[in-house]
Structure 1
């Protein structure tokens, strides 16, 4: 097999860097979708490459192993056995990490649902620690503690609800989960879960600002909630107070960013390149496998 099968690994090294830079210039909704798509494609293409490398282990098993030392047959040279074994191990570990990540998210959602009964889309938990979180489901709801309600005034509570409902309406949990699973299978994407989590919070901030018509109020509410929850025991995902509050407050002090489709060019180019490289690797793999199987069946 030629270098095409290894290209997804090389591209993964730069996807996160390019996505992080892209996020500085684009509105958060476009940046979040683009970063998630880039992470998903990187994970899928790497999985395909690892699978193809792993399958070459079969050439070490009878009857294929009988042709290993017969160069006169002109069979395509397989990948070294040690490399195929490493690929198989990495793939197995990655799948295990994905399963663990999904189990952790399922347990967190179950625990959050158990904290309060939803009425009209809102559940109030009698907990002194101030936090609020969007709990996805069918239907999803906003979970807020009595501590958070005491902390905020009426206008700030409207910001909080608009923010959390944005998470539910936009299905932000899906983007966060995709980024997490992509990184579980491809550790080279390690900055992506943090980046996507930050971007969906910024997205919800912008939705809250559009709903309330007051960017300064949103910034004040984010800062207030974040200061109150600093160092607390329980800080769930997708809450008003999470993910780089300082940067989010600073962003709300500026006008909303304009949509610049050219800003996604870097991630889009890498995504297309990964898909093309993987496609060429698949074609080559099928051709090589056909040659080996043809020798056995012939």
Structure 2
């Protein structure tokens, strides 16, 4: 088995906690992009590693070798001219590992398909529920006494708010809440959530990025709302009051719909009320070191997967007599 396949599969053990630590020291928008990109790179690298591992084992099967016009004795000799896959013919480890990789790929494919179907179904039901409500542009008001408000992605995206939520807030707080949900739509924050969910489906260790990403997106929208209304205390009051009003609401909103009432609300309110002091020289150096470590993890994971793919390609060409 090619040792280049190991780093993409194990790198999330180190990269996930490093990414979480770095994101905690960044502005919300930068943190959201960092976490989403980290999840995407690690998921793509680990999935490619599984594909290559399964392909490596499949090439040892005579029907597959014949289909690819491979010279099977050369492929299984595993000695000369096979690049990084010099041990390709070591069936003792390669075949069981390839079988496990094939099963994992099948499970991932099924989970991703199911998640995509569930996501589309939830959005369809949510949009159908807003079909008969009072709508004004991007705003859709549901006649419901339960307080709730969320940003519903789609074409066009809509801010869905219930009459119960409107009654629970004062006029200025309503404006801040709507600005928060409008920021979710403008920033396409649902795409970040989808990327994180699919990445976690591809590699279980990447589930650790979902909570900090959700928090970063809510903080991003909080800051946008504070800028829109020009009052951080008003934005904090709107978030807190909306969360208190919706705490007993059994919401049926889609999983990709973001709402100001979710996440660690007290922590978000505190962040709005108390400005973060600028980082000192020591903190800045520590942040740069953590960023360098994370960049190294991502580069190593991606480079190892690409190198393994190149090695397999070269091995197949040699086995084809090219």
Task: Using structure 2 for the length normalisation, give the TM-score.
Answer: 0.84
The question of whether the paired residues in 1 share the 8 Å contact of 2:78 and 2:87 is answered with: no
Equivalent residue runs for 1:259-298 within 5 Å? 262=288, 264-294=291-321
Alpha carbons of 1:81 and 1:201: their partners in 2 closer, same or farther (altered >3 Å)?
Answer: same
Alpha carbons of 1:163 and 1:240: their partners in 2 closer, same or farther (altered >3 Å)?
Answer: same
Cα distance per residue 1:186-235 (max 9 Å; x no partner) = 11101122221111111000000111111111112111111222242116
Distance in structure 2 (CA, Å) of the matches to 1:218 and 1:196: 21
Cα distance per residue 1:63-108 (max 9 Å; x no partner) = 5496399648746322521100001111111121112222222122
The question of whether the paired residues in 1 share the 8 Å contact of 2:16 and 2:208 is answered with: yes
- CA offset at residue 23 of structure 1? 1.9
Q: Which of 202, 206, 217 lines up with 2:234 in the alignment?
A: 217
Equivalent residue runs for 1:109-188 within 5 Å? 109-117=123-131, 118-188=135-205
Q: Which residue of 2 aligns with 1:16?
A: 16
The question of whether the paired residues in 1 share the 8 Å contact of 2:56 and 2:312 is answered with: no
- CA offset at residue 293 of structure 1? 3.2
The question of whether the paired residues in 2 share the 8 Å contact of 1:133 and 1:164 is answered with: yes
Alpha carbons of 1:291 and 1:249: their partners in 2 closer, same or farther (altered >3 Å)?
Answer: same
Q: Are 2:118 and 1:104 aligned?
A: yes
The question of whether the paired residues in 2 share the 8 Å contact of 1:164 and 1:239 is answered with: yes
Q: Are 2:245 and 1:228 aligned?
A: yes
Task: Using structure 1 for the length normalisation, give the TM-score.
Answer: 0.91
Distance in structure 2 (CA, Å) of the matches to 1:274 and 1:7: 6
Distance in structure 2 (CA, Å) of the matches to 1:72 and 1:248: 58
Distance in structure 2 (CA, Å) of the matches to 1:138 and 1:287: 45
Which segments of 5 or more consecutive residues in structure 2 lack a partner in the other structure?
67-71
Alpha carbons of 1:235 and 1:198: their partners in 2 closer, same or farther (altered >3 Å)?
Answer: farther
Which segments of 5 or more consecutive residues in structure 1 lack a partner in the other structure?
none
Distance in structure 1 (CA, Å) of the matches to 2:293 and 2:201: 23
The question of whether the paired residues in 2 share the 8 Å contact of 1:8 and 1:274 is answered with: yes
Q: Are 2:16 and 1:37 aligned?
A: no
- Of residues 13-22 and 84-93 in structure 1, the stretch that sits farther from structure 2 once superposed is 13-22
Q: How many residues align?
A: 295
Q: Are 2:13 and 1:7 aligned?
A: no
* 1:287 match: secondary structure: helix
Q: Are 2:35 and 1:25 aligned?
A: no
Distance in structure 2 (CA, Å) of the matches to 1:171 and 1:208: 15
